[in-house]
Homo-oligomer: A and B are copies of this chain.
Amino acid sequence: MIRWIAFDADDTLWENEKYYHDGQALLAQLLAPYQPAEVVEAELLKTETSNLSWYGYGIKAFGLSMIETAIRLSDGAIGSPEIDALIRHLRSMLEQPADLLPGVLETLQLIHNGYRMMVITKGDLLDQERKLANSHLEDFFEAYEVVSDKHDNIYARILKRHNIQPKEFLMVGNSLRSDVLPVVKIGGFGVHIPHRFTWAHEVVADTSSHVDGYVQIDSIKELPAILETLKHQ
Contact = CB atoms under 8 A, between A and B. Distances in A.
Interface in A74-112: 74, 76-81, 83-84, 87, 90-91, 94-95
Contacts of A125: 56, 124-125, 146-148
Interface residues of A, number: 34
A129 B149 CA distance: 11
A68 interface: yes
Contacts of A76: 79-81, 84
A126 B80 contact: no
A60 interface: yes
A63 interface: yes
Interface of A: 54-56, 60-61, 63-64, 67-68, 70-71, 74, 76-81, 83-84, 87, 90-91, 94-95, 124-127, 129, 146-149
Given A54-B126, A55-B94, 20 more contacts: A54-B91, A54-B95, A55-B60, A56-B124, A63-B64, A64-B90, A67-B67, A67-B83, A71-B83, A74-B80, A76-B84, A77-B80, A78-B80, A79-B79, A80-B80, A80-B83, A125-B146, A125-B147, A126-B149, A129-B148
